[in-house]
Structure 1
Amino acid sequence: MATRLLKSREALLVLAMVILATLIEMRFSGFLSAKSTVAIFNDTAILIILALGQAAVILARGIDLSIAANLALSGTVAALVNASFPGVPVEFLLVLSVLAGALLGAINGLLVWKLDIPPIVVTLGTMTVYRGMIFLLTDGAWINAHEMSDAFKAVPRAVIFGLPLLSWIALCVIAVMILVFSFTRIGRAFYAVGGNPNAAVYTGISVGRTHFFAYVVAGTLAGLAGYLWVARYAVAYVDIANGFELDVVAACVIGGISIAGGVGTAIGAVLGALFLGIIKNALPVIDISPFWQMAISGTVIIIAVAVNARAARPKGRVILKKAEHAI
């Protein structure tokens, strides 16, 4: 039992987070207080939502580099409508942002599916296009807090049973994505296509359609995160969440989502995001510049990919050597 836990990426991540948080608590009392723990989870909630969307794409052997740009464009659309028509219900704006994100994700999926363009090329291109669309919509201007209605800004800050609504939304997304990955046909298709697309075809699974749905899932969650980001920080402009896609990919890889596809869990993606959340909240406490965050995230990605590749390396070569000696 103990050996199995030590081989589990999720168990190792939990252990690493406990050790890291304990060390910081020993040096700076209060880091593990209930208030601080809730704040860390709430600060990481948007990253968790995006990581779960990215996980769907990576499991299906893809990548979405436009996910942060999708967030920015979807959130900006909701903010523009709110600024122009303050009386529009918040529920409508939330749905609008989610649908905008799903549409942008569907564009990625169609380009990968119908034109058979490599996912990294498609999403690198649409990342730039989506940022450009924000500039065209806003004419390069910022949408600031005073242009947004109080109701628009209040949603992620509302507190229910001592927990911000933003955190509750993240918890609901976690529950839904666990069910999708584990108990639905499309979830099984993500794993099948990512694990062996050629074999998946023989079981009746459409590889292209599976990629399409993966990008729609990622886009839908990016749209949700877009509204939450803009409403929480009360600002929308071209460069919001710029570079955040690196953190999203890092969260997935750290959580054990194989960049080659077909391996990983929703819980792993969540734990990977929380690991980054603890690090980012710890950096100011231990007096390390936030400008090191990107470097740390990149380094962690490289280490995690190396660990994943080593764990997935086939053992056939060793068997052949033994057979050769036997002859």
Structure 2
Amino acid sequence: MSIGASIAKFRELGLLVFIVLLSIGVQLRNPSFLTWENLNDMVTNTAILAILAVGMMLVIVTRGIDLSIGATLALSGMIAALTVSAYPDTNPVVAILLGIAVGVVSGVVIGFLVSKAGILPIIATLGMMNVFRGATFIVSGGKWVSAHQMPDSFKAIATSSVLGINTLIFIAILIYIAFYYFITYTRTGRQIYAVGSNPDSAKISGINNDKILWLVYTIMGGLSGLAGVLWVSKFASAQGDTASGYELSVIAACVLGGVSIAGGSGKISGIILGSILLGILNNALPLIDVSPFWQMGIQGSIILIAVIINALVKRGVDRNNLMRRRI
């Protein structure tokens, strides 16, 4: 077995060990890191990132990318915030469904551009990112929606709990369970990986590639819309530049979790660990008084190492497959 294939087999275990060792190291530097209060805050802050990582994983698995999710998040959050500020009696569930609907529409548009119009994902999503960001400023008139304009029931979405678990974390858990079942046990879930592994073979075998691409971008849009409402509720503020650049953090969480940019591979368990690692870095580095400039450098270095490992894994797996064919 090659080195790359060996890494592929134990990659997630290695990532888990790294997270444990990193946590122990930070705890030794700052005893407040592993306190219940800090851990709860850290997981809560990571929940939105983790939700978006699920959709981004599906997109990347199909050899795509979505740079518009930060703008979609901002647009959905702004429309939900404007709605609840104008109609304070709006049920929080209705606000969440409204945000998801806005996100789904955004995802459908991008899915059409990629699957039917044949535009490269990076170009289509980059263009729509600016469209959605501009639409956010237009619907808001360039103004913010601040905490005092939002009803308490809306702000309580992020602070309430279900079965003793923070609502954001609870929603993230439900999404991970649902999508684990979807990609593992449904025909469509397996087709997503088939399209990413070899689009030509998938097409020959009868899979509708366009339909699959349209689906994954629609899912990504819906999750972005959900994240938009949760974000605005959590921070009690809706702005035109909300989550600007956040798509890069989501992509980083996927890469750290072992999702191959080349498409065809990625696991739910991997992106959970990737999101947790990114959450730990965001939380721990300030706690141990690391300079903000060094924080960016450290995060970038870890992401680069993850990309290199992914490349080694892919090379090792490809080599193993080639040897098996020859045998």
Distance in 1, Cα, partners of 2:138 & 2:305: 39
What is the SS of the residue equivalent to 1:263? coil
1:87-102 equivalence runs, <5 A? 87-102=89-104
Q: Distance in 2 between matches of 1:218 and 1:286?
A: 35
For 1:146-295, list aligned pairs within 5 A. 146-290=148-292, 292-295=294-297
Q: CA separation of 1:308/1:318 partners in 2, compared to 1, >3 Å: closer, same or farther?
A: closer
Mapped to 1, the partners of 2:262 and 2:32 lie a distance apart of 40
CA shift, 1:315, in A, is: 7.9
Aligned length: 318
Contact 1:65 1:127 (C-alpha < 8 Å) held by counterparts: yes
SS in 1 for 2:67: coil
- Assess, with a 3 A threshold, how the Cα gap between structure 1 residues 318 and 60 changes in structure 2: closer, same or farther: closer
Q: Deviations over 1:157-201 (max 9, x none)?
A: 102343211111111111111111111122111100100000001
Contact 1:83 1:149 in 2 (8 A): yes
Return structure 1 stretches of 4+ with deviation > 6 angstroms: 3-6, 315-320
* Aligned match of 1:325: none
Residue equivalent to 1:324 = none
Q: Is 2:61 the counterpart of 1:63?
A: no
- Cα RMSD between the aligned structures? 2.1
Given candidates 19, 22, 40, the residue that maps to 1:20 is 22
Aligned equivalents of 1:105 and 1:14: distance in 2?
A: 33
In structure 1, C-alpha distance between the alignment counterparts of 2:260 and 2:24, rounded to whole Å:
29
Q: Aligned AA for 1:151?
A: S
1:300 aligns with 2:302: yes
| 1:86 Cα deviation from its structure 2 partner | 1.3
SS state at 1:156 partner? helix
What is the distance in 2 between the residues matched to 1:260 and 1:168?
32
Deviations 1:60-89 (A, max 9, x none): 111001011111111111001111111222
| AA in 2 matched with 1:32 | L
In structure 1, C-alpha distance between the alignment counterparts of 2:22 and 2:268, rounded to whole Å: 22
Match of 1:117 among 116, 119, 129: 119
Shift of 1:148: 0.6
The aligned amino acid for 2:22 is L
With the length of structure 2 as denominator, give the TM-score of the two structures.
0.92
Query: Compared with structure 1, are the counterparts of its residues 27 and 138 closer, same or farther at alpha carbon in structure 2 (3 Å cutoff)?
Result: same
Listed one character per residue, the Cα deviations across residues 198-229 of structure 1 (whole Å, up to 9, x for unaligned) are 00011111111111100011111111111000
| 1:317 Cα deviation from its structure 2 partner | 8.1
Q: Secondary structure at the match of 2:88?
A: coil
Deviation at 1:316, TM superposition (A): 8.0
Instruction: State the partner residue of 1:52.
Output: 54
Answer whether contact 1:246 1:298 (CA < 8 A) is retained.
no
Contact 1:78/1:93, CA 8 A, preserved across alignment: yes
Paired with 2:301 and 2:250, the residues of 1 have a C-alpha distance of: 14
Structure 2 CA distance, aligned partners of 1:184 and 1:261?
19
Uncovered stretches (5+) of structure 2, i.e. residues with no partner: 323-327
